[in-house]
Amino acid sequence: MDTDIRTDRIEKVRDIVSSYLEDIRDPFFRAEGYVHMFGVAQAAVLLAMKRGEDAELAACAGYLHDIATYTTGDSAGHAARGAEMAERILQLTGLFSEKETGKITSAIRCHSDKKSVHGPLEEILKDADVMQHCLYDPGYVSKKDKDRYRKLRKELGLGK
């Protein structure tokens, strides 16, 4: 696939996510959305490259994974709601195949289920989500993320 087209797709998703975030009235919540969703996208690209997976789809999943939380202010059921929103967004761009949209939305739908093991893109998004939380506050790792974070540090050669 042409590199320019791929870059344009990521840029389009990033622009759409930015437009949603700009509508958030609370400046602190808006900033949190940018830091988290953009950080997860970057971590997802790094992990996809390391694992030999599609970095473009990983980036898009990262940008969109918490779209429901940040657009509604409600995290209850956000993974499923976010997958539905992401599907509509990706379809509206007209830039993603049905198969690509399915991969991205599957990753988003599964990203909160950190205890189960799913496909490669799902695992990348889960790990990128954990990584961003831990990079944001290196002194705190939630109890539910400790095992995943420990494995991720080992994979990346970051010690125990």
Q: Given this model, what pLDDT does residue 6 score?
A: 53
Q: Which of 101, 102, 118, 100 is nearest to 110 (CA)?
A: 118
126 belongs to a structural domain: yes
Q: Is residue 43 domain-resident?
A: yes
Domain annotation covers residue 77: yes
Residue 143 lies in a domain: yes
* Structural domain includes residue 160: no
Please report, as a single letter, which amino acid is at residue 139.
Answer: G
Kindly report the CATH number assigned to the domain that includes residue 51. 1.10.3210.10
Q: How many domains, in total, are found in the chain? A: 1
pLDDT of residue 38: 98
Report yes or no: 126 and 110 within 8 Å, Cβ to Cβ.
yes
Residue 25: C-alpha distances to residues 62, 67, 73, 110 (Å)? 22, 15, 11, 29
What is the pLDDT, as a whole number, of residue 139? 86
pLDDT at 160: 66
Tell me which DSSP letter residue 90 carries. Answer: H
Q: Which domain holds residue 111?
A: 3-155
pLDDT by position in tens, the chain (length 160): 444 445 799 999 999 999 999 999 999 999 999 999 999 999 999 999 999 999 999 999 999 999 999 999 999 999 999 999 999 999 999 999 999 999 999 999 999 999 999 999 999 999 999 999 999 998 888 888 999 999 999 999 998 6
